[in-house]
Chains A and B, each alone.
Chain A
Amino acid sequence: MKDDAIVNINNVGFRYQHEPVLENINLTIKWGDFLGLVGPNGSGKTTLLKIIVGLIKPDSGSVELFGQSQSRFTDWAKIGYVPQKAALSNPTFPVTVAEAVGMNGGDPETIRRALAGVAMENKMTQPLNELSGGQQQRVFIARALVSRPQLLILDEPTVGVDIDSQLQFYRLLKNLNQKHALTLVLVSHDIDVVAHETKTVACINKTLICHGEPHTVLRGDFLDQLYGRPVRLLMHNH
């Protein structure tokens, strides 16, 4: 393994039923990276994240976390995971913001600080289901942060969040990445945003199609291959 790798995915393949969902994925995520994982719906992004965090086992290949084989890895507090649609599967569940964050451990002071980190400390006692989708996402990030992870994995965190909140959200992520040296992996199907906000991009559609800095990989030919149709990327700058 390369010693600047936080996650090392070797030749991973996976199928739920008969059709392979992932094939021959080789991907290294480096310390301090902010990786955007893009691909069309159903391309296997969520599945790959679930494999990384150990929710499902690959049918072939192997995963190394922090230089350790995944089967021997136990220090899950080092990895924060915010699943897709973390937003309340059960909206009648009465739970406050502080309770939601505290599910992942932490004393009241740690919880307060984690919430302060996402600018939500004034909402501690508010019921979670009274918050907007974007605010809930930030609470779930705070929950992932209470265990002081070194790697934070977010699956489509901005779906259903308005554009202003999204920009604010990416500013928060950049801050976590730069000032707190947190390695980030972010799944999005919005390539345009990912191209502007992340340090590196990986595109998957069953196989890994490209991996590298946004401006080098998000070229037309890769995108055509990724989406199976011509895609125009608007490379405007904010």
Chain B
Amino acid sequence: MFQYGFMVRAFAAGLVIAVTAPLIGSFLVIRRFSLVADTLSHVALAGVAIGLLTGTQPLITTVILTMIVAFLIEAIRSRGRLPAEAVLAIFLPGGLALAVVLISFANGFNAGLFSYLFGSITTVQPDEVWLILLLGLVAVVTIVHFYRPLLYSSFDEDSARASGINTKTISLVLMLLTAVTVSLSMRIVGVLLIGALMVIPVTTAMQVSRSFKQGIFLAIALALAAVTAGLVMAYYLNLPAGGVIVLLSLALFAGVTLLKQTVK
């Protein structure tokens, strides 16, 4: 299957997603804020629509739009006047509504857009693959660089702040990285299913890991397994990649949960 350029690109993009999604997702899950991924993915759809309407590379318009919204969510949330949940509940349908209206300008639902909803292996373009690799690299390097303050402020915000860490900046960095990850994942996994890939491998890994680092590496390993197997199955069985990848992640979750029950 690697004789096809599109499959090579799908695997390159898939591997980037399998590393970045659980890496960022780990910090979202422990902050109990994983729904932000779903919110930003609905906003991402509006970003795609803007890209298609203006003839710009949709990945670029999506990264910009989701980062702006991530910034707004964090600005509103950190003021503490509204519950975080409520902030997300405003932006999620907001993103979707904007997308629907923009799509209507483009004379209805076109097939290009459909592939963004649920992901597709055949559509990753050569210029996109480089952009995905670059964004993934930025996300990983940033997390590695901010690892300690990120972990500290996720675990115990007051102590982290008292120790001199700028926890507001750290939260904002995490939000922006979530926007980046959502954007780079949408081609393969699809906007409606990215949230799942950022959360399911993490919750699976957290059940059995004894340290946070171990949890992150295990979550990445699980995501790599699901993405690799998912892409192969999508290719041979002609199935939508995002759906298969998420179903495989859920199967791993179920397997680990059952195993843990029986071992105990």
Contact = CB atoms under 8 A, between A and B. Distances in A.
B202 to A, nearest CB: 10
Given A76-B162, A103-B160, A92 B206 contact: yes
A144 B160 CA distance: 10
B262 interface: no
Nearest to A83: B158
Interface string B157-173: 01111111000000000
Give the most central of B30, B210, B213, B215: most A CB within 10 Å. Answer: B210
A25 interface: no
A102 B209 CA distance: 18
B260 interface: no
Contact of A74 (B152, B164, B213): B164
Given A86-B156, A127-B211, A93 B162 contact: no
Contacts of B159: 81-83, 86, 104, 140, 143-144
Interface residues of A, number: 32
Could you tell me the dominant secondary structure of chain A's interface residues? loop
Contacts of B152: 103-104
Contact of A94 (B160, B161, B163, B206): B206
A89 B210 CA distance: 17
Nearest to B203: A92
B211 A81 contact: no
Nearest to B209: A94
A105 B148 contact: yes
B164 to A, nearest CB: 3
Contacts of A89: 156
A81 B164 CA distance: 11
Give the most central of A53, A55, A93, A96: most B CB within 10 Å. Answer: A93
B32 A99 contact: no
Given A95-B155, A103-B152, 8 more contacts: A83-B159, A86-B156, A94-B210, A94-B211, A102-B148, A104-B159, A104-B163, A105-B148
